[in-house]
Amino acid sequence: MISLAVIFDIDGVLVDSYGPHFQSWRQLAGEFGCDFNESQFADSFGQTSREILAGNWPVKLSDEQIVAADLRKEYLYRQIIESHFPAMPGARELVRGLHSAGFALAVGSSGPKANVAVSLAGLGLGELFGAVVTGEDIIHGKPDPAVFLAAADRLGVSPALCAVVEDAPAGIQAAKRAGMTAIALTGTVSRDRLAAADLIVDSLDQLTRDRIAEAIRQRVAGIGK
């Protein structure tokens, strides 16, 4: 039997992290005496924290300041989610169901390793993932496809047989560039901004093993035409 794989983003897909991430960015901005508004935050989805601090931050920072600010921001974020863990509705059920059905599972996140570890611990599902790739394993964040290609490589599954579940346009673009089936979850951004995805759902409850397998099959069939 040919193995199929599902690669999950963490933020906004398995963890309802929008509020905690925005809160941690606002806290960090306050420490710099400036503001980081929700529009700036939304425009940064899919990027690593260091990419945001280098290119979309209200204050010009040196390389050393970027490193320190990055560590501080992620520390603030972990404090927030550790005090009240925000699992996405249906996340645990979907991951368990796919694992039981024989899908290979991976995490492909632009976030730091420590954040992903806290998230997997909060979900209680770490042992079900055959590969975990974080922002510390790659040079460029999404929309670069490196994080998803690395996950597929570690799973030993062809990119064409992988589906990616993402909530951000940059993540959808990265999945498409990787040659994978892109499944978009609405909620973080509007549906129209996710239009490039192969499949769009409004909740994880709408995803089943059969629906994901069919989306992969249709994409592979379409490539072969």
Residue 44: what pLDDT?
78
Residue 36: what pLDDT?
92
Residue 46: what pLDDT?
61
Residue 151: what pLDDT?
98
The token pair that represents 68 in the structure block: 């320190």
Residue 224: what pLDDT?
58
Residue 152: what pLDDT?
98
Alpha helices per DSSP H over 63-168: 63-83, 91-100, 113-123, 146-155
Q: What are phi and psi of 108, to 5 degrees?
A: -130, 95
73-76 contacts: CB < 8 A, separation 24 or more?
Answer: 73/24, 73/25, 73/28, 73/49, 74/24, 74/49, 74/111, 74/112, 74/114, 74/115, 76/23, 76/24, 76/27, 76/28
Residue 92: what pLDDT?
97
pLDDT in tens, 140-197: 888 999 999 999 999 999 999 999 999 999 999 999 999 999 999 999 888 999 999 9
Domains in the chain, CATH or no CATH each: 5-16+86-224 (3.40.50.1000), 18-83 (1.10.150)
Q: Which residues are known catalytic residues?
A: 9, 11
Residue 48: what pLDDT?
73
Give every residue of the chain whose pLDDT is below 50, as ranges: none
Which residue, chain included where needed, has tokens 């963890």? 15
pTM: 0.88
Could you give the CA distance from residue 75 to residue 69 in angstroms, rounded to a whole number? 10
The token pair that represents 198 in the structure block: 């192969």
Residue 225: what pLDDT?
56
